[in-house]
Structure 1
Amino acid sequence: MARPMHFEIQASNPPVLMDFYSQLFGWTFNKWEAGEYWMIHTGPDDQPGINGGLLPRQGPPPVDMAAVNASVLTIIVDDLDATLAKLGSIGGGAKVAVPKMAVPSIGWLAYIKDPDGNFFGMMQPDTRAA
């Protein structure tokens, strides 16, 4: 069976997005020795999840209200409301693209645009969501 094993985030200004994701999720970034690329470590290796990379964007960032034209990464969070509140305190231009909603019997989901316009989801697992 084929499974995702790595993701990438495009960044117009890599240090800005590294700071954003470090503050929001506690991710760490390490520059890869081969060029302008940073490895993203998202959490302990003994827990479910994947790590990724961040690289300079090779064109303009997505414009507001444009259709999503890439895969969307969804991050599991313990408390969606607290993480959304934290998002508001970080600032930097990130914003809620789709407000918190129930995915029945799965959990609570919201979609965000990071400071560079990239979409991602945040999911709080909760089998009681309705």
Structure 2
Amino acid sequence: MPSPLRHFAVNATDLDAARRFYAAVFDWRFTPWGPPGFFKIDTGDSAVFGALQQRRELADGVPMRGLEVTFAVDDVAAVVRAAVAAGGRVLMDTTTISGVGHLAWIEDPDGNAIGAMQYDAAAE
């Protein structure tokens, strides 16, 4: 079954400047959510969720640049296995986000980071 784009994140060093920019350019709205430095983005599209967050590193010494994307998958463990078998690598082992689901970060053979989320509202 195809895995649809479900979530994207903008990583920013200056969150206030990023909020001003995206509000002015795309008319996005931001709501604080979760840990400090994390905002939900209201893009007007209820099928794809967005976040603005403090820039981070998924691999040591490699700051996230550009947009992060997360795809909805039926079985995150199977996706991780398939990624490794296809020449990718695991950047972050599967972790559970309470009330959201199970998330893993993988890297394609060209170094692009990709999130795979098995959504589960009952996840603990």
With structure 2 as the length reference, what TM-score do the two structures score? 0.50
